[in-house]
Chains A and B, each alone.
Chain A
Amino acid sequence: MSGLPITEADLHACVDAALPDARRAEVETYLATRPEEGERVRAYLAQKQALRALYNPVLDEPVPDRLAALAAAPPAVRGGALARWSLQRIAAGVLVALLGGLVGWVAHDRYPSGETLARTSPVSLPHQAAVAHAVFSPDVRRPVEVGAQQEDQLVAWLSKRLGTPVRAPKLGALGFELVGGRLLPGNSGPVAQFMYQDASGQRLTLYVSTENTGNRDTAFRFAQEGAVNVFYWIDGRFGYALSAGIDKGRLATVATAVYDQIDRKQDPNPNRKD
């Protein structure tokens, strides 16, 4: 007998079979004279067994495919083992790499560790715009929700939903005609997308967000991912992003035209000279 007082930790160690035999015997002797403490230890033992009964069946459940797939190294880790992939996996990998690259590109100069942060932070304007462009511009049958034939309705609707007047800039002089527009979810509310198309069928989207709270205006910025080029700028609470698969120079011309039209409309004093 060590004669040391029995502590709370001893009682738990007894439940968890973590005591040397000699000490265990002392604890049992102690419990024999204290029914309430004995009751408590038995209840803890029962808890432990009940937890196993409750959750051990999970071990026998079939592992979902999406988890089993992650037991294999992702492309970046596995390197040259292309031959073993199914086509589907390659496609999925390319998509992930594409989106990841886009997020990474956008985030790399702003966040020290872009990959993790960008996933949890509100997604940035050019990234959202580029994704929205990539999703909707190839759509042949239904690229927009409301077509240019109902431009008045489109503009009224989007203005109402965004809670502020928005307009579709006229880009006919540059060869782009309005196709229509749609409402999309942004980080905290609705955003608008206008779509244009030139004679060759080349599409261009203008993404208008009213969610900017950072209060930092920016000059034109340019982002590029794969075939999609994006010009974007922030003006007060408005964020604009122009996306298209056209060359940077031509896109810059369009962006300048859009900027000029928006600037003129928003200027309360059109006669003022800058």
Chain B
Amino acid sequence: MDSAAILAEIPRLRRYARAMLGDRAAADDLVQDTLERAWSRLHQWRAGSDMRAWLFGIMHNLRVDQLRRPRLATQSLDADDWTVPARPTQNDALELRDLESALGQLPDEQREVLVLLALEELSYADIAAALGIPVGTVMSRLSRGRERLRLIMDGQLPATRLRVVR
């Protein structure tokens, strides 16, 4: 594994982590953990195999570990108290921010499939392999995730909630 190749992957790892976590600092922490674990697991990497897939696999597993671990209790502010007023005007920057918030409201497993597909442009089979799940599961998560995201963006699901930053 050579340094230049890893350096070249870092921007993609950061992009994926940002999409998954929203928060910039938390995303970079995840990338850092991923790189550290990659070095400590170097013996598990087969020379010549796809390093990008390997690194994404490590990041996925770290995420799963983080989600399983009990965290400091944080509370979502309830939608009833904190409904964000709908904006009469639309512009692209605000719309993108809406997307970020809507994406954050998807279950982790659905968000992951959407992000891998849109940003990493992996095939369904590659995503299944990276996440260690059957292709059928990828398809059902994709289907539910896309539909849910569409409904949230359309305002057909509960309005954007303020979320405590993870």
Contact = CB atoms under 8 A, between A and B. Distances in A.
Interface in A69-86: 70-74, 76-77
Nearest to A66: B32
Interface string A7-27: 011001101101000000000
Interface of chain A, main secondary structure: helix
Contacts of A54: 19, 96, 99-100
A56 B15 contact: yes
Given A16-B117, A40-B150, A77-B42, A71 B15 contact: no
A120 B62 CA distance: 12
Which range holds the interface residue count of chain B?
A: 35 or more
B99 A73 contact: no
A58 B10 contact: no
A55 B123 CA distance: 19
25 contacts: A9-B143, A40-B150, A44-B146, A47-B114, A47-B149, A47-B150, A47-B153, A51-B99, A52-B119, A53-B96, A54-B96, A55-B15, A55-B18, A58-B15, A59-B11, A59-B12, A63-B11, A67-B32, A68-B7, A70-B39, A71-B7, A71-B35, A72-B3, A74-B36, A76-B39
A67 B35 contact: yes
B73 to A, nearest CB: 14
Contacts of A12: 139, 142-143, 146
B40 A115 contact: yes
Contacts of A15: 146
A63 B118 CA distance: 22
Given A44-B146, A48-B117, A63 B10 contact: yes
B46 interface: no
A83 to B, nearest CB: 16
Closest 10 CB pairs of A and B: A70-B35, A71-B7, A51-B118, A58-B15, A71-B6, A59-B11, A48-B118, A71-B3, A54-B96, A43-B150
A267 interface: no
B31 interface: yes
B103 interface: yes
Contacts of B147: 40
A64 interface: yes
Interface residues of A, number: 37
Contacts of B11: 58-61, 63
Given A66-B32, A70-B32, A70-B35, A59 B118 contact: no
B108 interface: no
Q: Chain A CB within 10 Å — which of B10, B12, B32, B146 has the most? A: B146
A94 interface: no
Given A44-B150, A55-B15, 9 more contacts: A9-B143, A40-B147, A44-B146, A47-B118, A51-B118, A51-B119, A52-B118, A64-B28, A72-B3
Interface in B1-16: 1, 3-4, 6-7, 10-12, 14-15
